[in-house]
Every structure is written in C-alpha cells, then in structure tokens.
Structure 1
Amino acid sequence: MPELPEMETYKTLLEQLILDKTITGVVINREKSINVPVDHFTRQVLDQKIEIMDRRAKHLIFHLQNGSCLLLHLMLGGWLFYGKKEDQPDRTVQVQLSFGVHNLYCIGLRLGYLHLLTPEMVKQKLQNIGPEPLNPSFSLDAFEAIMKNRRGSLKTALMNQEVIAGIGNRYSDEILWHAQLLPEKKINELDQDQISRLYHSIQFILQQAIEHGGYMGELFKGDNKTGGYKMYVHGLEGNPCSRCGTPIIKVEIASRKTYFCSNCQH
C-alpha cells in the first residue's frame, strides 16, 4: 500500500504535470471506484482545471476550479501512471482522467477510490486522522504527549492513522529498525531515550524515503524520481541486517507481515 512518502512523491510530480491543466476526458471503467453516478461525476469533473493539490496522510486531494474536490486513496494495490495512450501499462484501469493527449491512469483500485466531494465533505472524511509527522508542529514534545497514555505495541501504534498520519506496514518496520526497537515492544515500556529515538527515526525514515521517491514504480516514462528508496528490512526475510549482519526475521503482527532484526532491535 502506498504510504506517506509515495503519496508525497506523487503530489510533487503531479503538481509539475497536471496543475492548472484542464481535464479534457473522463473514463470510468469501475463504477465502485467513484461515489456518485458516472454522469454526475463526469459533469462535475470535465473541463475543470486542477488548481491545487494537497496530501493528507495517504490521500491526495485534487481541488477543482468549480470548488469540488477529488479525494484519491489508492489503498492496497493501487498505483498511478501518467502518459499517452501508447504508454499505458498493460493493466486494468479503473479511472482515467485525460489532459489533452496525456492521461492519468488510476490502476488497481479494487479497494481504493477517487471520490467527488465538497471541501467540507473532505474535511469531515479526514477529521479523525492524526498529525502529519513531518509538519513543523509535530515536535518531540507533541509526540511524547501522543504516546503518553497509549497502550499496545509500537507496530500497531505507528500504523494507526488516528495516532500518526501516513505510516503503514512498510515504513513502520523501517522506522522501528532504525530506532532499534522491536515491533511488539509495548508503548508504556519505552523510556525517555527510546521515545526520542523513535521520534527521530520517524523523521529520518520518512524524509529519506521522500528524498528517494518512495518505493513505487515510475509515474511516467523517464521518471527518475519515483521508486528509489531501498528498504532496510521490510520484505527482506533471510537477508543480513545491514547494521549487524543477523538474518532478517518475518513474523505476523496484527495480521501484517512484519520484518525486523532480532539482534539489534530490542
């Protein structure tokens, strides 16, 4: 599932590709991927310019000139591709937005969606999401206050969108490896130094992942930004830990495949 770094990368690149451009075509191949009848969606979106693009947690928000918004959540398996018809990947496209001869293909939206909403509806939809971890207001003090009265494991807390926005299964593993903390360690067992380490690891891993374009494949042909982040532990079962050489272990926590080093995570 694309997480904060992937969606931030998409936002940055799409701002260069489609911001202030007019939507000249709409194709809906899967009606369940949108939230209103196809004809209504098309009427509201066609011939509109995208004036602003925002990201909130794992969502992208396209602000249209008529005041409407498109809220995109790729969920599990979703991804985006931008290009001409001859560049289209050989995959099922659920929603397609055209900008002249170029198209934005929304692929793999079996669980994801592109919903047409008012700004007020977007605000309501996202109202329970926690703070953005890279926002300047997300200080160590703010993080300590969030974690103070929580229970449960670090892994599940990091993935809880009501606690912190945008972190999912992959980057929770990466963060905990960097902080040298076990994913099943209980929040209320952390000392001050470990809380500080965890906070700074959240900042470091997410910023590094954004800098390298996250883990997803290219957004467009010739894209040399997207997909440059290399995982430290996630998906690397049996590989040597890059810090101590111990083979990476895979277990299941809260029904999620979880990867860690049993030697240097404590």
Structure 2
Amino acid sequence: MPELPEVENYKVYIDSTALHQRIVAMDCRDSRLLKLSQSDFETHLIDQEFKATQRIGKYLFIETTGEKLLVIHFGMTGRPNYYKSEDDRPKYGHIQLTFENGFHFAFENKRKFGWWNLANSVAEFKAEHSLSDDARDLKLDDFKASLKNRKTDIKKILMDQSVAAGVGNWMADEILYQAKIHPAKKVEDMSTEVIERVFEAMKTVIEVAIEKDAHYSDFPEHFLMHFRKEDATCFHTGAKIEKMKVGGRTTYFSPEWQEL
C-alpha cells in the first residue's frame, strides 16, 4: 500500500506534470472510486486548473482554481499517470482527466481500493477524519501527547492516523526495528527516552524513504526492508526474523534485536 514516502513521490510527480492546465473532460470507468457523483466532480473540476498540492499522511490534496479541493487516497495500488495520447491510457486508469493542452491525467487503481473525493478545505477534512499533522512534520511534543495514557501496543499506535498520519504497516515495522523496540511493547511501559527513540527513528525512516524514492532496494543495508520476511536473517544479530499479528496486521521483527 502506498504510504507516506510513496504519496510524497506522487505529489512531486503531479507538481511537475499536471499543474496549471485547464481541465476540459472527465471519464470514469468505475463510479465506485468516486465518493460523490461524477456530475459533482465535473461541476467542480471541468474548466478549472490544478493550482498546488498538499499531502497529509497518505492523503493527497489538490487545490484547484474552483471552490473545492480534490482529495485522492491511493488505496493498495493507486498511482497517478500523466501522458499525451489517449492510446497510452493505462489498463487500470479507471479515472481520467483531459487537459486543454491535449494531455491526460489518469488515476491508476488496479485493486480499486483507492478513491477520489472533494473537500472544502484541508483543515476541515483533517478534523473530520481525525488526522494528526503529517508524520514528516510532526513535533515531538505532539507525538508524546498522543501517546499519553495509551495502553496498547506501540505498533498499533504508530499506525493510528490520529497519532502519526502517513505511517503504515511496513513503515511501522521499519521504525521499530531501527529503534530496537518490540512491536508488541505496551506504550504505558515505555520511558520518555524510549518514546523519543521511536520518534527519531520515525523521522529517519521517512527521510531515507523519500530520498530513495521509496525504492526499497536502495535503502541502507541495515534496514529491515531488505529482509522483512519470516526466517530471513537479522542484519544485527544473525537471528531469524519472526512474524506475528499486531493490531490485526502482519508484523515482522527480530526477537533478539527487539527484545520485549
């Protein structure tokens, strides 16, 4: 699933291709991907332009010259695609906008878990969906405050979008591996020093992933993503990587490196 680093790359891609061009047409092959009717989208997008983008966690907001923001969630397999010829429309480009310059912008979504919506403002959407500040911008004091009085596993908390918007399953595993924290460790048992260590690991993982364009093969060799599978070998200890469920999500960890 596209997480914070992948969506940041999509933001950069859209900024470099699809801004400041008048939208003249919209085509949607599956209305289930639209949170509102297609006519609503056409009303607010046709004859408008994309002005700027903003990302909070896994959500991408596209400011338009109209009254509404376009909100995109990429689901499991979503991604943007900008191209000139209609013949180049990707197989799973279920939503397509056409610009006055003849180019097209498609929302690829093979597994159809992603969606489009319209919003009045980022602040309103953020409040309605209980999103924290983006994990990349999150301040330590706010992170600490979100963990106060929590009594559940740290991995489950990390994936709570009201705590650290943008952190998903693989990122949570990586953050905890870098911080040497067992994913099932209870937040109530974590010292201030340990919480700060998790926070710093989160910031490091985010920046590395963005710098490497979320290409896992380019991550530093000590990153879990290179051996994030059951019975693989831990970089630091040589022990086997184990798998468990935390908060209903498949979780990979090194029991000797991340002692409970």
**TM-score normalised according to structure 2 size:** 0.87
CA contact (8 A) 1:20 1:50 kept: yes
The residue correspondences of 1:1-20 to structure 2 (distance < 5 A) are 1-20=1-20
Deviation of the 1:244 alpha carbon: 2.4
In the other structure, the counterpart of 2:30 is 30
CA contact (8 A) 2:10 2:79 kept: no
In the other structure, the counterpart of 1:239 is 232
CA contact (8 A) 1:34 1:116 kept: no
The residue correspondences of 1:57-96 to structure 2 (distance < 5 A) are 57-84=57-84, 85-89=86-90, 91-96=91-96
CA distance in 2, matches of 1:27, 1:58: 24
Deviation of the 1:215 alpha carbon: 4.5
Q: 1:258 aligns with which of 242, 251, 259?
A: 251
The residue correspondences of 1:83-122 to structure 2 (distance < 5 A) are 83-84=83-84, 85-89=86-90, 91-99=91-99, 100-108=101-109, 110-119=112-121, 122=122
In the other structure, the counterpart of 1:220 is none
CA contact (8 A) 2:14 2:80 kept: no
The residue correspondences of 1:149-188 to structure 2 (distance < 5 A) are 149-188=149-188
For structure 1, the 5+ residue unaligned runs are 217-226
Residues 167-209 of structure 1 show CA distances to partners (whole Å, capped at 9, x for unaligned) of: 1111000100000111111001112321121110011001111
What is the number of residues matched between the two proteins?
251
SS at match of 2:80: strand
CA distance in 2, matches of 1:201, 1:241: 18
CA distance in 2, matches of 1:192, 1:130: 20
CA distance in 1, matches of 2:234, 2:14: 35
**1:102–1:238: structure 2 CA closer, same or farther, 3 Å change rule?**
farther
CA distance in 1, matches of 2:218, 2:47: 35
Deviation of the 1:235 alpha carbon: 4.1
Residues 193-241 of structure 1 show CA distances to partners (whole Å, capped at 9, x for unaligned) of: 211211100110011111111259xxxxxxxxxx855762474332222
CA distance in 1, matches of 2:257, 2:25: 53
SS at match of 2:185: coil
**1:124–1:265: structure 2 CA closer, same or farther, 3 Å change rule?**
same
Over aligned residues, Cα RMSD in angstroms?
Answer: 2.2
SS at match of 2:23: coil
The residue correspondences of 1:34-53 to structure 2 (distance < 5 A) are 34-53=34-53
The residue correspondences of 1:192-207 to structure 2 (distance < 5 A) are 192-207=192-207
SS at match of 1:207: helix
CA contact (8 A) 1:213 1:229 kept: no
**1:64–1:257: structure 2 CA closer, same or farther, 3 Å change rule?**
same
In the other structure, the counterpart of 1:224 is none
For structure 2, the 5+ residue unaligned runs are none
SS at match of 2:107: strand
Residues 108-145 of structure 1 show CA distances to partners (whole Å, capped at 9, x for unaligned) of: 262221112322xx53332111122222xx33333222
Identity of aligned residues (%): 27
Give, as a single letter, the amino acid of the residue that structure 2 aligns with 1:232: L
In the other structure, the counterpart of 1:129 is 131
